């Protein structure tokens, strides 16, 4: 799938599991998710849902932070055998989740920096940019990202679930790509078979543009209505 579809799937995926995670404990992580955690998780998952495509030189995430992400993308492409190979495996999702969770346990500052990077990637992936003026788009993206991350920080968002959210975002990416004709080698490097849906569609084809993307957008609206206490914003009668 294209970058915007992956980012949308990250938002939808996180919102969909919030009711299941609320009050639960997963791998020792307790979930007490308020509005801040829902928003933060949705953006983190949206950014993480683009991470596997770092192995592609023209991907949205590879172009987000210029030379830095391009160099990192080139390294991952080399380490994991090219596009849609190792970075599209469950092993990669596990590694990303473990690395991120390690950051969460090591330093609050490291977590905030990583959140900033993922939110910026998410905003870019969701299409809030100007292709004709990349400099202006980069400045606007950075300012918007900084504002969002600062607002989440001041609201006291707890990121103990960070590693799980990143791993989940990567898995959502795989689900999207397994729905396309190219598929994903989920069990790489043990098995290089590409898992794909029997009803696979072409990346950036009519199905993705006219069915998948609109449905994901509608799902975000419906989950927003369901999850957030909009009534609290209304003036009392």
Average pLDDT, the chain: 87
pLDDT score at 82: 87
* H or E element that contains 226: helix 213-227
192-222 per-position pLDDT tens digit: 899 988 878 888 788 888 999 999 999 999 9
Q: What is this structure's pTM? A: 0.90
Gyration radius (Cα) of the chain, Å: 18
> Would you place residue 129 in the very low, low, confident or very high pLDDT band (cuts 50, 70, 90)?
low
Quote the pLDDT of residue 143: 86
Distances (CA, A) of 187 to 97, 122, 174, 227: 17, 26, 11, 34
Q: Whose CA is closest to 4, among 204, 164, 142, 227?
A: 204
Q: Which long-range contacts (CB under 8 A, 24 or more apart) does 197-204 make?
A: 203/1, 203/2, 204/1, 204/2
Q: 59-110, pLDDT tens digit by residue?
A: 888 888 888 889 999 999 999 988 889 999 999 999 999 999 888 888 888 8
Kindly state the average pLDDT of the residues 125-132. Answer: 64
């Amino acid at each position: 799938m294209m970058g915007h579809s992956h980012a949308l799937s990250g938002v939808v995926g996180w919102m969909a599991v919030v009711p299941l995670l609320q009050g639960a404990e997963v791998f020792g992580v307790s979930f007490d998710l308020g509005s801040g955690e829902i928003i933060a998780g949705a953006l983190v998952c949206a950014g993480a849902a683009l991470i596997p495509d770092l192995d592609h030189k023209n991907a949205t995430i590879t172009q987000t932070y210029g030379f830095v992400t391009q160099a990192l993308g080139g390294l991952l492409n080399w380490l994991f055998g090219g596009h849609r190979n190792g970075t599209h495996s469950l092993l990669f999702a596990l590694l990303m989740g473990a690395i991120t969770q390690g950051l969460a346990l090591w330093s609050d500052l490291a977590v905030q920096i990583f959140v900033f990077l993922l939110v910026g990637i998410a905003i870019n992936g969701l299409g809030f940019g100007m292709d004709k003026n990349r400099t202006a788009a980069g400045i606007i993206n950075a300012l918007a990202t900084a504002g969002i991350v600062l607002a989440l920080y001041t609201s006291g968002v707890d990121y103990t679930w960070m590693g799980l959210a990143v791993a989940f975002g990567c898995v959502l990416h795989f689900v999207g790509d397994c729905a396309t004709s190219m598929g994903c080698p989920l069990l790489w490097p043990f098995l290089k078979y590409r898992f794909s849906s029997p009803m696979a569609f072409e990346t950036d084809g009519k199905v993705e543009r006219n069915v998948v993307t609109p449905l994901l957008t509608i799902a975000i609206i419906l989950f927003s209505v369901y999850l957030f206490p909009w009534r609290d914003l209304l003036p009392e009668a």
